[in-house]
Amino acid sequence: MSPRAHDPLAVRGKVRESALRLPGAVEEFPWGESVIKVNKKVFVFLGVGDGSYPPAITVKLKDPEVHAHAMTALGAEPAGYGLGKAGWVRIPLEEGAPAAELLSDWTEESYRVIAPKRLVKELDEPPAR
């Protein structure tokens, strides 16, 4: 059996790893799904990783250009439960999804919207020598 050209769970894993590298980021599992939080606030919903639901990520994008770009992704839609009105976008990770690197950029953008300014500053500071 040959490996799939696009593995949604591998993409999800890469986004998860990059999110957890952000200052103060922690993973929790409310409602049985993975979310990454900073300062007790969710900045990315990763859903479940067991394959029981189609993989997707949900991020909050306030910059109009970034939000508009994310909405052009195949199957992208405003997040449910009224979150779409606040800039949250759900992006399916199936065939035709943006690359993990771009999804990670959008995840960082969501982090910047949610995180306290001191942590965003830490993210932007050059590493100590």
- Closest to 61 measured CA to CA, from 86, 42, 92, 36: 86
Domain locations along the chain: 8-115
Burial class (CB in 10 A: 0-12, 13-18, 19+), 92: middle
Q: How far is C-alpha 72 from the geometric centre of its chain's CA atoms? A: 16
pLDDT of 2 reads: 38
Query: Token digits for 21?
Result: 């590298």
Contact present, 99 and 69 (Cβ < 8 Å): no
pLDDT one digit per residue (tens) for the chain, 129 residues: 334 557 898 999 999 999 999 999 999 999 889 999 999 999 999 998 887 788 999 999 999 999 999 999 999 999 998 899 999 999 999 888 999 999 999 999 999 999 999 999 999 887 766
pLDDT of 86 reads: 93
Domain 8-115 class?
A: alpha beta
Residue 40 half-sphere exposure toward CB, CA atoms < 13 A: 0
Q: How far is C-alpha 128 from the geometric centre of its chain's CA atoms? A: 27
Query: Token digits for 88?
Result: 């949250």
Beta bridge partners of 26: 37
